[in-house]
Structure 1
Amino acid sequence: MVLRHFLRSAAAVTLLVVLYYLVPLDHPPGAWAALALAAGLSLFLALVVHQVRAIARSPYPRLRALEALVTAVPLLLLLFAAAYVLIEHGHHGSFSEALSRTDALYFTVTVFATVGFGDIVPLSKSARVVTTVQMLFDVVALGLLAKSILGAAEAGVRRRSGQDTGEPGPTGDGAAES
């Protein structure tokens, strides 16, 4: 069961990364790019809501919660990396150096991790706005993601152990569940 969840997570992350490198992002950004980022973030939130529901119903809620975290965080990072690629392609000089897709992903991870090495810096207003949005979204999303996913996992464990209904569940006290 653990292997199945691991393989599904690895496949999802691999697919997201492959799509990031294959999707054409060489169009100049405009209103559609902002809408695409907003749609992507909405999709991310919808995915989280779906995952929370699935975790609570899952026979292995903790494994499902781990799977949700492993897939949600890369999706969030890749959405912002794609936005940075679009900004750089549309307005060269938006960052302190030209960004390839790998550079944009690297910058996104340094912002996400709050490391901020300073080797890549947003220079244009649009790059700074998107970076600020990412910083705020990362903090809020991580807090909500952790709270909702962990809460759903605990609700799933309680459901499985019969604590919600007062009847014994399939695993007894839930202590053996991963």
Structure 2
Amino acid sequence: MTAAYFVLPLNGLGPHRPELSWTVFIVVLAAIACLLLLQIREVLLDRPDTHPVVVIVLLMFLSVLVFSATYYALARHAGAFVGLQTRLDALYFTVVTLATVGYGDIVPQSQTARLVTMLQILYSFVFLTAAATAVTRRLRSRVGDRLGHSEPP
């Protein structure tokens, strides 16, 4: 997925084609969110024949790449960001935002860049936190099963 992110042609997206860019962004994020919710449901149902942890981790990583690609496409518009010029910069900014570190070396300047950054923060709070909680729950349950303990209520 990371290799695809670095070679995926993003020239058709960005400020010069806002309708297409927003549509792709919203549809892809909504699809990832729905898939995450389905996998979280699998964890909650605790079906032994499923393996949602791998899928959840891949979907979480994919959501990071979607935000990175969006930031990179937005940065092609002058004044959208200060300090974001490459795909690596966009990936770095996404991870720093996700980790709530905020070094300040890359700063969203335009209203659109700020909106997408706020969407990433909200998306992370809702979907990625729920997904990480589900992964932790599943792993604790599996470790408890192997040790002969049941998960505490």
The TM-score, its normalising length taken from structure 2, stands at: 0.78
Mapped to 1, the partners of 2:84 and 2:69 lie a distance apart of: 14
Compare CA radii of gyration and give the structure with the larger one.
Answer: 1
Q: Give the superposition deviation at 1:143.
A: 2.6
Map residues 138-177 of structure 1 onto 2, 5 A cutoff.
138-150=124-136, 153=138, 174-176=145-147
Find out whether 1:45 has 2:16 as its counterpart. no
Unaligned 5+ segments in structure 1 are 1-15, 158-172
- Residues 124-167 of structure 1: CA deviation (Å, up to 9, x unaligned): 1100110011111111112321344455x38x86xxxxxxxxxx
Kindly report the root-mean-square deviation, in angstroms, between the aligned alpha carbons of the 2 structures. Answer: 2.5
Unaligned 5+ segments in structure 2 are 149-153
Matching residue of 2:151: none
Mapped to 2, the partners of 1:98 and 1:115 lie a distance apart of: 16
Matched length: 141
Matching residue of 1:18: 3
Match of 2:71 among 84, 92, 101: 84
Mapped to 2, the partners of 1:17 and 1:145 lie a distance apart of: 20
Find out whether 1:103 has 2:89 as its counterpart. yes
Mapped to 1, the partners of 2:10 and 2:112 lie a distance apart of: 17
Find out whether 1:94 has 2:80 as its counterpart. yes
Find out whether 1:116 has 2:87 as its counterpart. no
Q: CA contact under 8 A between 2:32 and 2:63: conserved in structure 1?
A: yes
Give SS of 1:57's match: coil
Mapped to 2, the partners of 1:94 and 1:23 lie a distance apart of: 21
Map residues 49-68 of structure 1 onto 2, 5 A cutoff.
49-52=37-40, 55=43, 56-59=46-49, 64-68=51-55
Map residues 121-136 of structure 1 onto 2, 5 A cutoff.
121-136=107-122
